[in-house]
Structure 1
Amino acid sequence: MGFPGTWMTESESVVYRVVPKCACSTIGQIMYYSDHGTFFDGDIHDAETGLHKWAHEHSQPKITANVRDHRSYAFTCVRNPYTRILSSFFDKICGIQRNGKRYRGNLVPLLVQKYGIEVGEPETNFEFDQIRSFRRFLLFARDTIRWRRPMEPDIHWSAMSGHISTFIVNGGRYDRIFWTEQFNDGMQKVLDAIDTPHEIRLDRIPRFNESEGHGPKRAHPVEDYFDDLSMHLVYEIYKKDFNLFRYDFQNPANKMPTGEIDLDEVHAKLGE
C-alpha cells in the first residue's frame, strides 16, 4: 500500500502525513519554503515539483526508503472532530471549488435528492438553514463511513485516525503529532527538531486557507450545530479521534485538547 498522503521536502529534512482539513495547506507551504526560500505560487496541493508527494510516482521510492529507515523527522497535525466536520461541510458541500464548480460533480445534487440537504447559492448569498442541513449531512457522512453507501467515504470527512494509521501500518513512525488549535507551538517544535536549507520564522508565515471565501460563512457558534443525536453520530464516526488526540466529546463548544497526545498509544492502537 505504501504511504498515501505523505509529503517530504526535496532535501529530506522532514516527512509529513497530510490529514485533510488540518492546516495542510499552511504546512505544505512551510515545507516548500524551507527548501526553496519562497512559497509555491498557488495551492500547494497543485504543486507538481518542489515537494515529494506520494501521489507522484517518481517520489514514491524516495519516500518509501526514507520512512522505512526513519531517516527524517516525521509528523502530522490533527483537529477537533467537531470543527473539522463542520469545516468539511461548509467547504466541500456548500462551497464552490477552485475550478468554479461544486465538489465532486454530482455529489451535491445527490445530497439534495437523498438527504434533503440545502446548500444555498452564491447569487443569494448562500442563504439556507445551516443547522438543519448540516445535521442531515452528518447522516450522509455516517452512512459513507459505516456502510460505504451511497458512496465511499471522502478523505475530508473520514476519520483522522484512518489517515494517520496508514503511515504506521506500513512501517512509519511519527516523532510528533500536534493540534491545529495550538499550531504555532506544535509547528515550532517540529522546526526546532530539523535542519532546513532556509530558516522559517513562524510569526511571518501567512495562513494558507485555500477554501476560505468560496462558500457561506458559519452563522452560528459550533455548539449550535450539534444536538444530542448529532453528538452521538459524531462520536460514532470519530470515537478514536476524540480518545487518541484528547478532544472533548462532551462539549462541542470546547475546541481545545484536554490532555497530551501519547505517541506510544497512537502507534500501538493504530498499528494493529
Structure 2
Amino acid sequence: MGFPGTWMTESESVVYRVVPKCACSTIGQIIYYSDHGKFFDGDIHDAKDGMHKWAFDDSQSLIEETVKTHSSYAFTCVRNPYTRILSSFFDKICGIQRNGKRYRGNLVPLLIQKYGIEVGGDDGKDDFDQIKSFRRFLLFARDTIRWRKPMDPDIHWSAMSGHVSTFIANGGQYDRIIWTEKFNDGMQQVLDAIETPKKVDLAKIPRFNESEGHGPKRAHPVEDYFDDLSMHLIYEIYKRDFDLFKYDFQDPSNKMPIGEIDLDEVHAKLGG
C-alpha cells in the first residue's frame, strides 16, 4: 500500500499527507517555497519536480524510508466535514475543472439522471436550487461511501480519517494535525518545528485556492443546506471525522473546532 497522497520536500525538511479539500494547494505551495524561495508556477498538484510525491516512482523509496524511520517532521491538515463536503459539491459537481471539462467526465450526467441534481447549466453559471441539489448529492455521496454504488467514493468527499489513516496504518506517525479553520496558527507551528532552506513569512503567503471560481458561489449560509435528514447522513458518513478532529456535529453553522486534537487517540484509532 505504501504512502499514497504523501508529499515531501526535496530537502526532506517535512512530510505532508495530502487530504483533499483541506488547504492542500496552499500547503503544497508553502512547502515548495520553503525549499526553492519561489512558488510553483501553476497548480501544485501538477508539479512534476521540485518536491517528492508518492505518485512518482523515483520518490517512493525515499518517502518510505523517511516516514518509517520518522526522520522528518510529518503533518496533515483537516477541515470541518460540513464545509468540506459543500466545497466538494460546488467545485467538483457544479464547477468546470481547470481542463475546461466537467469533473470525471460522465459523473455529472449520471447525477443529473439518477439523482435529479441540477448544477447551474453547462457552465455552472445559471441559477438553480442549490439546497435541493446539494441534499441529493449528499445521498449520492453516502451511497458511494456506504455501498460503493454507483461508483467508488471520490477522494474529495471520502472521510478525512480514511486519508489520514493510511499514513499511520503503514508505519507513519504524525507530529501535528492542523485545522484549515486555524490555518495560520497551525502552519506556523509546523514551520517553527522544522529547518527550511528558505524562510517562509506566512503573513505574505497568498491563498492558493485552486477550486475558487470553478463553480457557482454558495448562495446561503452553511447551516441552510443541512436539514435533519442531511445531518443524519453527514453523521453516518463522517462520525469519525467529527470525533477525532473535534468538530461540532450538532451545529453546522459552527465551523470552528470545539476541542484539541489528541494525536495519541488519532494514532490508536486509525492505526488498526
For the aligned pair, the TM-score class normalised by the smaller chain equals over 0.9
Alignment of 1:42-81 (within 5 A): 42-81=42-81
Report the secondary structure of 1:237's partner residue.
Answer: helix
CA contact (8 A) 2:19 2:163 kept: yes
Alignment pair present for 1:85 and 2:85: yes
Q: CA deviation at 1:137?
A: 0.2
Tell me which residue corresponds to 1:34.
34
AA aligned to 1:152 is D
Alignment of 1:1-272 (within 5 A): 1-121=1-121, 125-272=125-272
Structure 1 unmatched ranges of 5 or more: none
Structure 2 CA distance for aligned equivalents of residues 125 and 146 of structure 1: 31
Q: CA deviation at 1:127?
A: 1.1
CA offsets, 1:27-76, max 9 Å, x none?
00001000000000000000000010000110000000000000000000
Going from structure 1 to structure 2, the CA distance change for 1:61 and 1:230 (only over 3 Å counts) comes to same
Structure 1 CA distance for aligned equivalents of residues 180 and 125 of structure 2: 29
Q: CA deviation at 1:121?
A: 2.4
Going from structure 1 to structure 2, the CA distance change for 1:50 and 1:124 (only over 3 Å counts) comes to closer
CA offsets, 1:235-255, max 9 Å, x none?
000000000000000000000
CA contact (8 A) 2:94 2:124 kept: no
Report the secondary structure of 2:214's partner residue.
Answer: coil
Report the secondary structure of 1:41's partner residue.
Answer: coil
CA contact (8 A) 2:124 2:216 kept: no
Structure 2 CA distance for aligned equivalents of residues 84 and 188 of structure 1: 22
Structure 2 CA distance for aligned equivalents of residues 214 and 269 of structure 1: 36
Q: CA deviation at 1:125?
A: 2.5
Report the secondary structure of 2:126's partner residue.
Answer: coil
CA offsets, 1:154-210, max 9 Å, x none?
000000000000000000000000100000000000000000000000000000000
CA RMSD of aligned residues (A): 0.8
CA contact (8 A) 1:10 1:35 kept: yes
Structure 2 unmatched ranges of 5 or more: none
Question: TM-score scaled by structure 2?
Answer: 0.99
Report the secondary structure of 1:63's partner residue.
Answer: helix
Report the secondary structure of 2:4's partner residue.
Answer: coil
Spell out structure 1 runs of 4+ moving beyond 4 A: none
